[in-house]
Chain A
Amino acid sequence: MIFKQIRSVNASARLHSKLYSSTTHFGYRTVAQEEKEKLVRGVFSNVAENYDYMNDAMSAGIHRLWKDHFVSKIDPGRRPGGNELSFLDIAGGTGDIAYRILEHAAKEHGDFESKMIISDINPEMLGEGVKRFENTKYHSKSRQGERVSFKVQNAEVLDEIPDNSQDLYTVSFGIRNFTDIPKALSTAHRVLKPGGVFACLEFSKVTNPLLAQVYSTYSFNVIPLLGQVLVGDHDSYQYLVESIDRFPDQETFAQMIRDAGFATNGAGYENLTFGVAAIHTGVKPIV
C-alpha cells in the first residue's frame, strides 16, 4: 500500500516537474513562475468588464448552455433531512456560476439557506461579480445577500477557507490560468469535507481529428480577431486561445484530479460539444 502511494506521489511529482518547474508557461511563452500570476492578472484586469460579452461573442452563446448543464449536473442544494451546504466558487469573478448554483438550489431543492463564497484572485473580476449581484435578489442589503460572500483569494492557497469546510468546489473556465494546477487541486482537497465534490468546467481537447482542425483554425484566427474588433484587445484573447491549447487533455486532467486524492466515478469526465469543453468531477473520500 505504501509503495502504491509512493508510486502515485512520484508520478504526480514527475508530471508536476514536467509541467511546472521553476518556469511555467503563459500561453506559448515560457515565463518565471512568479511572473505568470502577474501576467494572468493583467489579462483578466483587461478583459474583466467585457468578459461575459466576449464569451458570448466567441462561443455564440454556447458557454451559457455549458454552464447551465454544468450546474444541473452537479445538482447543488440542501437535501431533505440534510444540512445546509457550503458552496465555494473559485475563479468565480463575474459570479455567473455562483448565481446559477443559488438559483438551482432554490428552484430544485427549495434551499434558501446554503452559503456561497465567491473567490477570485483578481479584484477587478470580483468587482464585476459584486456589481452584478447588486442587481439581483442577492444584493448586499437583502437577507438572501447575507448568504453570499466575496473573497479575493489565491486558489493555490485559500488561506481564508478552513480545512474540511466546503461541500462543493466549482471552478469554471478558471483552472487553466492557475500557475500551479496540482497545488490548486490539493488545496481543493484540503478545503472540501469528506464527500465534498470538486467540479470543473474547462476547455478541453476536441476528440474528432477533423473537427479539431476546424476548431483550431477558428480559435487561432477568429477569437483574437474578435477580441481586437469588439473590445480592442488582441493580446489578451491571443493568450486565452494559447492557454486553452496548452491545457492537458481530458484523461491527463482526470488523472491529476485522482493524484490530488479525489475519487472519480468511471472516467471522471464528460465531454461537451465534441470535447471543446469538458466537465470533470471528483469526490473527496473519507480521510
Chain B
Amino acid sequence: MIRASPRFFTVRTVQASLRSYATAHTSKSEVDLPRQILERGLQLLPEHGWDLAPATRSLGLSDQAASIFPNGKFDLLQFYLQKQTAKLASVQLKSSTPDGCVRELVHARLLANAELGPYLGEAVSMLMSPKYLPYSLEQLHNLVDEIWFLAGDKGHDATWYTRRGSLAMIYAASESFMTRDNSPNFKHTLSFCDRQLNAWSRFEAAEESVSEWFKFNAIAAFNVAKSLTR
C-alpha cells in the first residue's frame, strides 16, 4: 500500500524537519506556533474562509498574531495547497495505465475542493493575482509533478515539460470552471476536465503522426537530393 516515498513528499518532510529544528531546539517555545495557527485555520476553513483572525482567536491569541504571516490569507491558501498535494499519495488508484491514473488523481484533487464551498472562488482569484502568481505557479507545478510521479511516469525526455505544462493548464482551467459549477458532485467540472484530457491525448497522438510524417519526408527529400547531385 505504501508507495515508494514520492519525491515531493520527501522534500517536504526534510523542510519540515529543518523548520522544527530551527524553532524547537533554539527557542523556549516547544510548539511551532505559526504552523499551529495555520492548522487551526484549515480546520475553520469551511466556516470562516481564508481569514486568519478566527484561527488566532480560537487558539486564545491576540488578533494581532496573524500579522506574522507576510501574505496573510494567501499564506493559509499556500499551506492548504501543500497539504492537498501531499494527500494525493494516499489515493487508491484503480487504473493500470498512467493516463488513467492521471485522470483519477486530477479528479481526486478537484473533488477535494468541494469542502471549500464559496471560498473556492476567492482562492482562485488570489492565485490569479499578479502579486502571488510566482507562488501560484510553483504550487501548480508541484501538484502536476506529483500527479505524474504518482501515476508512475518515469519519462525524462523533452516531453517532461509539455506533459507537465499541459496538465497544469488543464487543471487550472478545470478549477476555474469549478467555481461556477452548481451541478451535484461537480459532475460538469469532471466531464469538462475529461474532455480536456481526451482532447489533449488526441492532440498528442496527432502531433506524433504529423512529426513522423515530416521526419519521413525530410529523409526522403534528402535522399532524392543526394541522388540528384551524384
Contacts and interface: CB of A to CB of B under 8 A. Distances in A.
Contacts of A195: 56, 59-65
Contacts of B156: none
B19 A266 contact: yes
A286 B27 contact: no
Which residue of A8, A79, A194 has the most chain B CB atoms within 10 A of its CB atom?
A79
B29 interface: yes
Contacts of B32: 263
A74 interface: yes
B26 interface: yes
Contact of B34 (A8, A255, A258, A263): A263
A165 B188 CA distance: 53
B140 interface: no
B69 A4 contact: no
Residue picked from B31, B54, B62, most chain A C-beta under 10 Å: B62
B62 A85 contact: yes
Contact of B68 (A1, A82, A193, A265): A265
Given A195-B60, A197-B67, A285 B72 contact: no
Given A81-B53, A195-B56, A264-B23, A167 B28 contact: no
Interface residues of A, number: 41
A261 B61 CA distance: 15
B30 interface: yes
Given A167-B64, A194-B62, A196-B65, A255 B56 contact: no
A263 B23 contact: yes
B70 interface: yes
A270 interface: yes
Interface of B: 19, 23-34, 53-54, 56-57, 59-70, 72
21 contacts: A1-B30, A8-B27, A75-B66, A79-B53, A82-B63, A83-B63, A167-B62, A168-B64, A192-B62, A196-B65, A199-B67, A255-B26, A258-B23, A258-B26, A259-B26, A261-B27, A263-B23, A263-B32, A263-B33, A265-B34, A282-B68
Given A73-B67, A283-B65, A283-B68, 16 more contacts: A8-B27, A75-B67, A75-B72, A79-B66, A81-B57, A168-B67, A193-B61, A193-B62, A258-B27, A261-B27, A262-B27, A264-B34, A265-B69, A266-B34, A283-B34, A285-B31
